[in-house]
Amino acid sequence: MPERTKTGVPGLDEILDGGIPKENLVVISGDPGSGKTCLCLEFLYYGAMKYKEPGVLISLEESEEEMIKIASFFGWDFKKLVDEKKVEIIAVELYDFEKLRATVEDAITRLNAKRLVIDPGVVFRLYFERELDARKRILSLGRTLKKSGCTAIITNEISLDKTSSLFGLEEYVADGVILLYHTKLEDRFIRSIGVLKMRGTKISEKLHPITISKDGIRILAKQELFEEV
């Protein structure tokens, strides 16, 4: 059994057979509003607070101030974690992939980070004009992250009608893929989670309901989606 990184997200470690195998790279894909950023912030927060594992958040869309504000909605004081050098939030605005890679590597070294989040990975598409270039660089980044000593998460947004791949990252490099859904069922929206793959892990093959409250995300691990609805 591989050593595991406990996410700390209520219910998630239960459906992952104890957590994400250490130093694995996981892609979390979901449609808008499904809870990707919330889950990632929770992963970093509990990593720093509960498991004494420093974390780096590379934000490709929001500023550091905005990410701290989002976290505060759930009672997570990321300003304090940043000040104590337990978490580093880096907003990357330049569409220069090599600079991004260097930024990630420098931050991991500086903080001796054990957890890394890049959110949202879909922005990678803006870095390249040619898909072939994108595929080569992103697969290379994925391999770099797997050697970094961090348990890493990259988020990916999927539209309501199709999955948009991160140029093969999920299929060829990522050790795990977690899917978050925010779907309409009759007269209401429901959230759910499924684990598509997780290397070295006996995973739940069911969709499980999710709740998002002022305390963050909670996975109802003992329930299956259609039992809930």
Q: Tell me the domains of the chain and their CATH numbers.
A: 4-228 (3.40.50.300)
Phi, psi at residue 103, to the nearest 5°?
Answer: -60, -45
Count Cβ atoms below 10 Å from residue 112 Cβ, excluding itself. 11
Between 204 and 180, the more confident residue is 180
> pLDDT digit string (tens) for 41-91?
999 999 999 999 999 999 999 999 999 999 999 999 999 999 999 999 999
CB distance 39 to 28 below 8 Å: yes
| Residue length of the chain | 229
Across residues 187-211, what is the average pLDDT?
A: 90
- Is the predicted pLDDT of residue 16 greater than 90, yes or no? yes
Which residues share a beta bridge with 59?
Answer: 91, 119
Residue 130's pLDDT band, with cuts at 50, 70 and 90, is: confident
CB distance 179 to 62 below 8 Å: no
- Is the predicted pLDDT of residue 160 greater than 70, yes or no? no
- Is the predicted pLDDT of residue 227 greater than 70, yes or no? no
Q: What average pLDDT does the chain have?
A: 90
